Amino acid sequence: MTIRTGINIRPATPADSALIATLIRELAEYEKLLHECYVTAENIRHSLFGSKPHAECVIAERHGSSVGFALFFHNYSTFLAKPGLYLEDLFVRPAARQHGVGKALLAHLAQLAVARGCGRFEWSVLDWNAPAIAFYESLGARAQREWTIYRVTGEALAQLAAQSAT
């Protein structure tokens, strides 16, 4: 789907697994989190294109070159009794920024959310990422400051999973 002249948003395919892994590593480097990034083309291929896909991904191309991606999945709102679309990651390579690529990716996902009957489209952003925050707010997105994200990973996740129901 072409949004603006020279920008094309397309669904990722298994052949894009290495590209997606590279873009995720570039995002992790930008976010100063490369030390927490364990992505490989193989685990992307399995989790996005295996027998039970856990998420979807679209690739942004500008003038025929891959310049960004958005990885997303459905969640569910019990209050709305509707699915939602959750954007896990959005990344545009620095050379392609300020050319409408990020906006094209978000518009594409908003169109998918509407077409799929979603009640909301949401994502998280690091609190220090002022350029991204300003960009999102310019599109009408609003921070949900009354919510705090909690996360359990690694050993804490394993310990919680080992707890009995009694």
Rounded Cα–Cα distance for residues 115 and 130 (Å) = 31
Amino acid at 45: R
Active-site pick, 30, 86, 136, 150: 136
Examine the residue annotation and report whether 76 is marked as an active-site residue of this protein: no
Taking the CB of residue 68, how many other CB atoms lie within 10 A of it? 24
Instruction: Annotate 23-52 with b (16+ C-beta within 10 A) or e (fewer).
Output: bbbbbbeebeeeeeeebeeeebbbebbeee
Residues serving a catalytic function are: 136
